A and B are shown apart, each in its own frame.
Chain A
Amino acid sequence: MKKRFKWSFLIGATVLALFIAIAVLSLIWTPYSIDDSSGERLAPPSSAHLFGTDTLGRDLLTRAMIGCRIAMQVGLLATLLGGLLGISLGIASGFARKYLDGLAASTLDIVIAFPTLLIAMLLVASMGASLQSAILAISLGIAASLARITRTLTKRVVALDFITAAQISGGSTLSIAFKHVLPNIWPAILANLSLQFGLAGLAEASLSYLGLGAPPPHASLGNLLQESQETAFIAPAGAIVPGILLIALVLSMNFVADGIRERLDPLLARKS
């Protein structure tokens, strides 16, 4: 068990580091310029174009690198924004009583009623398709799901006797939240957050695949997949590479999450 954790964590961390390196590299250097369409159309992979070219003759390696950068950017911003909002709302509402509790529950119900895709469609209908509205929509989705999960977890912990004991011995709600509730629910939340990071990249890809994310001159991985769907039979690399990249990103985030959880979870630590 322990051995397996080490190598999966190592692989995850390595792939993640690669993604970060590619994202940073794409800021200063790409094999071709973004709008260089000098290549042959739908060329197969070659030494000049490692992943081949698209229907307009643009280098797919260049576009895939930029796609990775966009995915990382969306993941980071959306998780930070959504996580902060979601966790604080979740814990606060887990402690709320009486009509405050009801208010929190109904507010959460309303927000959760808008899955990311739905929020995104609403935002796109009013703000137009852009990377910003995609990030905003995804982080709202993350916030809603984290708030709900944190709230459920908090409520379950708060219902336990040791919280009552802490309350009787005079602990303030804030100190109980930080000292007793957060340490117990933290591993589950952190695991969820890292899952969300990868899923944010996926969500952005879905949105731009539908034409609701970053508009076409952008090379998001979803745009690449959407553009290559028609021609996937002639030039399969265009459909396969972005898909593999997305899977690698999400998987590496999962591995990292599992590693962190196995390190931090008090229950798991006691066993090993």
Chain B
Amino acid sequence: MQRYILHRALTLFFSLAVASLALFLLLRALPGDPTNALISVGMDPAQVEVIQASLHVNDSLLIQYFSWIRDALTFDFGESFVGYFPVGDEIISRLNVTLPLTFIAFFFAALVGSLFGFVAAYKRNTFIGTFFSGISQLGSAVPAFWVGIILIQSFAIKRPLFPSGGFPVEGWATPGEAIRSFTLPVLTIVIVMSASISRYVRTISLEILDSEYVRTARSLGQPRLKAILVHGSRNALSTLMPIFAIELATTFIGAVVIESVFALPGLGSLLIKGIAQHDYPVIQSVLILTTTAVLIIGFIADVLTHMADPRLLKARR
């Protein structure tokens, strides 16, 4: 097991290196020189050189890459080309919105999704089972931003129970206001994500219900529900873990869309604005941070999966 974790950590490190290099090169391969954004008409060549030196564009790509990584490790992401704000500070303030949104929404989505999926499988061929799998089918077919639009229509405009968008300026210092502006976005994500999670849970639960070890346990006199929960949960875990990791990452990245619908000042809206304004320090920093987060989520999920299912360790040899 330790060997596996060490191996997987090395893989994580290697992945991070390759991903960051690929990201760096892709953004460098863009048509046009990033300095163009900072050079205005009528600057003399000396001024242009100062700007170019400040951006290190004349260094070799490799040196640029390593100095970028070195700065990023100390959380120095440079300055925005457009707003001249330090990107690192801006990211931290944006994470105050995006991280709670992601985790609260994912927690409820996983809870609701697992419950619905299990009931849909456990009660299959009955009205309840069909009803639950029908709901989750409908839910996973609905575009998230459309749910958001409809929720705004129904609960912010027709009946003004919640704000239609935005986030209090004081942030979490005014928890009541913050929670009120979070309600509809969280609800939107939960509706969409729980539906997709419950479909996976249903499939896996069906597999377990039909498995031979559950039949054996039943034949030894265990009640059906107990046989499934005791023997099935661990098997389910090893299959569900990678899926949950992907779903968590999807929620995190999907927050971009929800932030746009509800005009929340999160990481996603920062990135979208950055892309629209060709603000490379912002694009590059947000992308490398999200990539790192997703890679680490995958690492943790893989380790947990192998803890739950030692057969996978055996299969490696």
Among the stretches B25-33, B48-56, B76-84, B94-102, the one at the interface with A is B25-33
Are B291 and A113 in contact (CB-based, < 8 A)?
Answer: yes
From residue B144, how far is it (CB to closest CB) to chain A in Å?
A: 7
Report if A124 contacts B (CB, 8 A). yes
Most buried by B among A114, A198, A249: A114
Evaluate contact between A113 and B294: CB separation under 8 angstroms.
yes
In whole angstroms, how far apart are the Cα atoms of A232 and B290 in the complex? 33
Indicate if the CB atoms of B141 and A247 lie closer than 8 Å.
yes
Give complex CA distance A211, B250 in Å: 19
Evaluate contact between B242 and A152: CB separation under 8 angstroms: yes
Q: B256's closest neighbor in chain A, by CB? A: A117
Mask of A107-141 contacts with B, CB within 8 angstroms, 1/0: 00110111101100110111000000000000000
* Cα separation A222 to B260 with both chains bound (whole Å): 13
Residue of B nearest to A261 (CB): B203
Chain A residues contacting B23 (CB-CB under 8 Å) are 122
Give complex CA distance A205, B144 in Å.
Answer: 10
Q: Is A210 a contact of B260 with CB atoms below 8 Å?
A: yes
Which residues of the other chain, A, contact B295 by a CB distance below 8 angstroms? 109-110, 113
Evaluate contact between B15 and A106: CB separation under 8 angstroms.
yes
How many A-B contacts at CB < 8 Å in the complex? Answer: 143
Q: Residues of A contacting B260 with CB < 8 Å?
A: 209-210
Residue of chain B at shortest CB distance from A129 = B275
How far apart sit A142 and B59, CA to CA, in the bound complex (Å)? 37
Q: How large is the interface on B (under 10, 10 to 19, 20 to 34, 35 or more residues)?
A: 35 or more
Chain A: interface residue total (CB-CB under 8 A): 51
Contacts of A267 in B (CB 8 A): 210
The minimal Cβ–Cβ distance linking B121 to chain A, given in whole angstroms, is 13
Report yes or no: B249 in contact with A115, Cβ–Cβ below 8 A: yes
- Whole-angstrom CA separation of A159 from B312 in the bound complex: 8
How far in angstroms is the closest Cβ of chain B from A216? 14
Bound together, the chains give a CA A46 to CA B289 distance in angstroms of: 50
Q: How far is A102 from B236 in the complex, measured between Cα atoms in Å?
A: 24
Tell whether A57 is near chain B: CB-to-CB under 8 Å. Answer: no
Question: Distance (Å) between the CB of B34 and the closest chain A CB?
Answer: 12
The answer on a CB contact under 8 Å between B143 and A155 is no
What are the 8 tightest A-B residue pairs by CB atom distance, in nearest-first order? Answer: A250-B141, A159-B315, A243-B146, A113-B294, A115-B253, A106-B11, A251-B141, A247-B141
Q: Contacts A106-B11, A195-B140 given; 20 further ones with Cβ under 8 A?
A: A102-B11, A106-B14, A110-B22, A113-B15, A113-B298, A115-B249, A115-B253, A118-B290, A118-B291, A121-B283, A125-B30, A152-B242, A155-B315, A159-B315, A205-B143, A210-B256, A222-B143, A239-B149, A242-B146, A250-B140
The 9 sampled A-B contact pairs (Cβ below 8 Å) are A106-B15, A118-B290, A122-B26, A125-B30, A148-B246, A210-B272, A225-B145, A233-B157, A239-B150
